[in-house]
Structure 1
Amino acid sequence: MKPVIGITAFCSVDEDKVFCGINENYISSVMLAGGIPILIPIVKDKQAVLQYMEVIDGLVLSGGGDVAPLIYGEEPIKQTANVSWERDEHEIALFNHACQKNIPILGICRGVQIMNVASGGTLYQDIEKQVPGTLGHYPLRTAMDQLQHTVEIGKDSRLYAVFQEEKIYVNSFHHQSVKKIGKGLKAAAFSDDGIIEALESDDQRFIMGLQWHPEALTAKYPKFLLIFRMLVEESMKQRAVRIR
């Protein structure tokens, strides 16, 4: 039986109608990796969050808007935008409960930022404004499947075990990034300008966060599917442990 992978969804408003959804790239990448994707909408019911933990075998924290700075103890600067307290609180709760149940977690773009904030870390609200010498991390009018910059991967990381490479090219669509690393996490990759591009658990749990968007690259660059395959494999292992 294939593992069920929960993917967090976002809400958008169009002509006074609220829609909940996710980019199809997340769904297809999980499917191609051998998992069964289900969308997890933003809900305020804490009991519902606990019930999701009984259904899913793995969790993907998807990309999206900025994390509310007040959550990590900062006042917002003018570059911070598209904040949703409801989504932040919902995804932080999902992350915390998934950690408690040892459910494998993959955070993508905003997802790695949520992981870090949930673990007590902080963010750069705008790297161009706050980090001197920052290179281009948010190219305009660029397709999601275009490679943008280099990432250096630590050889002692789980991420290196995925790619077996110390340097890869990735896409990039973010203006915020990890600043102070949260408890229980460690840096696994950096861009040339020193921005943290990946976090993972400092123990044996599968908790991985990537600042780029591998789900948008899997069709054109199949090696990025390896990330989702590892998530699915780890979810299968943990599912087997939980149902014993």
Structure 2
Amino acid sequence: MATEDLSVILPRVLIVSRRSLRKNKFVDFVGEYHLDLIVAYGAVPVIVPRVTGVHMLLDSFEPIHGVLLCEGEDLDPSLYEAEASGLSPEELEEVRRLHASDTAIDKEKDTIELSLAKLCLERNIPYLGICRGSQVLNVACGGTLYQDLGKEVTKNCPENQRVVHIDYDNYDGHRHVVKVVENTPLQQWFKDSLDEGRMEIWVNSYHHQGVKRLAQRFVPMAFAPDGLIEGFYDPDAYNPEEGKFIMGLQFHPERMRKTNSDEFDYPGCPAAYKQFVKAVVAYQKKLNSSSSVAKPLKLGKEMEEKRRTILRSFSLARNIYAGGHGMNPSKESELEAGAEFLESNTALSMQQEKRLKQMGATVRNASSYFDRLKLNDQRERLATSVMGKMSVEQLSDLMSFYHMMGEICSDMLEKKLHEIVNELAS
């Protein structure tokens, strides 16, 4: 098979570059170990350059079959509850001196990566976050970070539980122990290296920040002795064979290699990349399968106009149903096309009609329909009261969920209407 054919067939994994200063000029780069593993397991890495305005052009990188986010500077503290750290201005200044290479905030990279993380969460696109990438994922889901582990964690730990999370004098060689949580992907990957009863591995460490409050949807996979979460995943979004993979690792398994060698510390080190790419491949197949449906018949001008009129009617009904605030009288006539369509005995099967009703698209029996709108007003008042007692994190998760469900309903409704109209046309 020709090389150009492979580039079309292989799934695409987006990776955002990191900006660095070289010879008084900015250069963008991605660690080669990441790229090697993505290619080795059967995907194509697509580097998203960290340059101004790229966050507005992410649609241009479609199709997106997976996202890998890795190293970089600290996330902008304003993106999470940084004020809860309790660090004084003097302490923050000391942190900036100690970790000068990491504390220069890169807001453009933050915007690009958070946009990609949220896109993955909305579409269930496979996502692997390494180090900073795991922190981006947690913040995108409403979690928070420690601004500095030394100031917020280490000093409050008993001496025998303290952990050095970064050692500039032994950067690549530094390791610390983590305890792996049972019945997690991490245990599965490293099972041949875990001593019976101990569940421990030694990992590398290049960070001075980390997960403080883990977002509600995630489950920890590993802890450092000081209690820091070193890995987490979404168990409801983890099944590589089905194209599901949402995970964050604080350590760098791709760089856990023996001195002066490419041999990994443990056989399980590359497993995160292997399973991630497996999910990416499955996701691409699923995406191609859903988009390879037969093209609808080309409608005549008159039939196309009728289709558009019916679609507008259903769209208006859905908006009224979703908003629950009644309707401008001038819009009532636009509902008639949908009502007539639904009243036809031959237009819809019972199953199709039931699904349309479930999505709030029905406009049959106007009086009972508007009675239901009044009931929705009562439900809205009750929902407002309940939501007023929810936390910001809970509200954020709820809004993301219903935004996703609304998009799915809208897409499915239009697809079903296409099918119905095509049946009528034939």
Same fold (TM over 0.5): yes
Deviations 1:123-166 (A, max 9, x none): 0011111012231110122242x350112111122222222243
Quote how far apart the aligned CAs of 1:177 are. 0.5
Give the deviation of 1:83 after TM superposition.
Answer: 1.2
Deviates more, 1:121-130 or 1:193-202: 193-202
Match among 132, 135, 139 for residue 117 of structure 1: 139
Q: Secondary structure at the match of 2:168?
A: coil
SS in 1 for 2:269: helix
Q: Tell whether the 8 Å contact from 1:151 to 1:191 is kept in structure 2 after alignment.
A: yes
Aligned equivalent of 1:2: 10
May I ask how many residue pairs the two structures share in their alignment? 242
Deviates more, 1:167-176 or 1:30-39: 30-39
Alignment pair present for 1:28 and 2:36: yes
Give 1:91-110 correspondences, 5 Å limit: 91-110=113-132
C-alpha deviations, 1:9-65, integer Å up to 9, x for none?
A: 11123354221111212111222333222211225244422332x233211111111
**Contact 1:34–1:229 under 8 Å retained in 2:** no
CA–CA separation in structure 2 for the residues paired with 1:143 and 1:45? 32
2:224 is equivalent to residue 191 of structure 1: yes
Aligned twin of 1:211: 250
Return the match for 1:160 from 172, 180, 187. 187
Equivalent residue in structure 1 for 2:277, among 213, 232, 235: 232
Match of 1:209, SS state, is: strand
Q: 1:177 pairs with 210, 215, 225, which one?
A: 210
Deviation at 1:183, TM superposition (A): 3.4
**1:139 matched to 2:167:** yes
8 Å Cα contact 2:82-2:147 kept in structure 1: no
Q: Which amino acid aligns with 1:149?
A: H
Deviation at 1:204, TM superposition (A): 2.8
Structure 1: which 4+ aligned runs deviate by more than 4 Å?
none
Alpha-carbon deviation of 1:217? Answer: 2.5
| Contact 1:126 1:176 (8 Å CA) reproduced | yes
Tell me the distance in 2 between the aligned counterparts of 1:117 and 1:56. Answer: 21
Deviation at 1:176, TM superposition (A): 0.3
The equivalent of 1:11 in structure 2 is 19
Report which structure shows greater RCO (CA 8 Å, sep ≥6): 1
Q: Does 1:48 align with 2:57?
A: yes
- In the superposition, the TM-score normalised over structure 1's length comes to 0.91
Looking at secondary structure, tell me which structure has more strand per residue. Answer: 1
* Greater alpha carbon shift after TM alignment, 88-97 vs 17-26: 17-26
Q: 1:242 maps to which residue? A: 287
Task: Determine if contact 1:10/1:22 at 8 Å carries over to the other structure.
Answer: yes
Whether 1:72 and 2:111 are equivalent positions in the alignment is no
Q: Distance in 1 between matches of 2:280 and 2:137?
A: 18
Structure 2: distance between partners of 1:193 and 1:70? 25
Name the TM-score, length of structure 2 as normaliser: 0.54
User: Deviations 1:66-92 (Å, cap 9, x if unpaired)?
Assistant: 111111132483325121111111100
Structure 1 alignment gaps of length 5 or more: none
Rg bigger for which structure? 2
Counterparts of 2:165 and 2:54 in 1: how far apart (Å)? 36
2-structure distance, mates of 1:45, 1:36: 20
Instruction: Name the SS of the counterpart of 2:214 in structure 1.
Output: coil
RMSD (Å), alpha carbons: 1.9
- Of 29-38 and 231-240, more deviation after overlay is shown by 29-38
Distance 1:214 1:38 in 2: 21
- Among 177, 180, 197, the residue aligned to 1:150: 177
> Quick check: 1:127 aligned with 2:149?
yes
Amino acid at match of 1:141: D
1:220 corresponding residue in structure 2: 263
Q: Whole-Å Cα distance in 2 between the matches of residues 126 and 220 of structure 1?
A: 32
Displacement after TM superposition at 1:6 (Å): 1.6
Asked if structure 2 preserves the Cα contact closer than 8 Å seen for 1:50 and 1:97, the reply is no
